[in-house]
Amino acid sequence: MRTLGTSLQVPAIGFGAMVLSPGVYGDIDDSRAGTALRAALDAGATFVDTSDAYGVDGHNERLVGRAIKGRRDEVVLATKFGLAVPDGEASRAHPVGYAFGELRVNAEPRLVRRYAERSLRNLGTDVIDLYYSHYVDPGVPIEETTGAMAELVKDGLVRHLGLSNVSADELRRAYAVHPVAAVQNEWSMWRPIDPGLLRTARELGVGVVAWSPLGNGFLTGTVQGLGEGDFRHNAPRFSKENLAGNNDRYAPVRALATRLGITPAQLALAWLLHQDEHVVAIPGSRTPAHIEENVAAAGLTLHADTLARIDEALARFEVTGGTLL
């Protein structure tokens, strides 16, 4: 277990539920998705991460809601708002490195309660343990969004506040309005976190939740090509031209995992957990055996010389294809 902020206790390896909606990693039906979610809870990955923007019309939140029915007390439930903008409301562009170029965000304070109430209905619960703004709205000062989020804590709809995809400065400005338990940013062996954000999180006592900790599957060493309907077709790191070369240059890290008798996925997760005691990873998977393998990474100890060898290998690992954010 690890602590986010002052008091939110979560397992070091949580579960990213985004993978369970169709159109992310190709097609998937609700029966397979439900099996994966139950496997995650059974394995101890009870820190479940979703968003109102995953799947169509709250599909992912509803899926999570069904899976935790009768098990709500076991789960630390995290969701996010700001990308699933209600019909008729304006939105603003947030640039991203995907081929489609931008996301649309509305995190205006007047909509925040409406977002939260919709998520509570989808999740079939009366409280969200950790509620994040998903992306910063370029048209709204973060203090204003945070102020509206703080009202949700005061009124008991939400237990802890989180911020996703923020800079160090944005974290500091939001924290001045209300304490923040966690930031959630992309962080993995092929996507370093901004050291300034990490420093600020440490200074303020804010936990760091690493999204795509397996590099959208790349760091498991098992991705040789992509199927139909896979969103990674939008990510230049996975393009036909880039994927094979990236896999070749990642070989030394895979070899290190083999020498340690663990899988590359486990090495990638254990490496993250060794960066700071307040870091938590939320890998996603539709495959119960992978979920168990990932959870087991929380029990691994990497010695200082191993960590040094990983850092040396990563310093030489040139990734082609830009980043997503």
Ligand X SMILES: NC(=O)c1ccc[n+]([C@@H]2O[C@H](COP(=O)([O-])OP(=O)(O)OC[C@H]3O[C@@H](n4cnc5c(N)ncnc54)[C@H](OP(=O)(O)O)[C@@H]3O)[C@@H](O)[C@H]2O)c1
What phi and psi values does residue 133 have, to the nearest 5 degrees? -80, 135
Residue nearest to ligand X (CB): 16
Comparing CA positions, the residue from 287, 200, 301, 272 lying closest to residue 12 is 272
* 25 binds ligand X per the rule CB under 6 A: yes
**286, 302, 310, 313: which one contacts ligand X (CB under 6 A)?**
286
* 46 binds ligand X per the rule CB under 6 A: no
296: Cβ contacts below 8 Å, ≥ 6 apart: 266
Tell me the C-alpha distance between 39 and 50, whole Å: 16
Structure tokens at 322: 């830009």
* 222 binds ligand X per the rule CB under 6 A: yes
Asked whether the beta carbons of 129 and 8 are under 8 A apart, the reply is: yes
User: How many other CB atoms sit within 10 Å of the CB of residue 304?
Assistant: 8
User: How many other CB atoms sit within 10 Å of the CB of residue 300?
Assistant: 16
Q: Which helix (H) or strand (E) holds 295?
A: helix 288-296
Cβ at position 211, least distance to ligand X in Å:
3
Question: Any idea which residues carry the catalytic annotation?
Answer: 54
**67, 180, 265, 267: which one contacts ligand X (CB under 6 A)?**
265
Q: Which of residues 305-324 bind ligand X (CB under 6 A)?
A: none
Cβ at position 304, least distance to ligand X in Å:
25
| Residue type at 168 in one-letter notation | A
Q: Which of residues 164-193 bind ligand X (CB under 6 A)?
A: 164-165, 184
* 162 binds ligand X per the rule CB under 6 A: no
* 11 binds ligand X per the rule CB under 6 A: no
Structure tokens at 62: 């509803």
Nearer to ligand X, 25 or 175 (CB): 25
Cβ at position 71, least distance to ligand X in Å:
19
Conformation bin of residue 101: beta by default, left when phi > 0, alpha when psi is -120 to 50:
left
**5, 11, 16, 58: which one contacts ligand X (CB under 6 A)?**
16
Residues contacting ligand X: total by CB under 6 A? 29
Tell me the C-alpha distance between 163 and 174, whole Å: 9
* 197 binds ligand X per the rule CB under 6 A: no
* 19 binds ligand X per the rule CB under 6 A: yes
Binding site for ligand X (CB under 6 A): 16-19, 25, 49, 134, 164-165, 184, 211-217, 220, 222, 265, 282-287, 290, 293-294
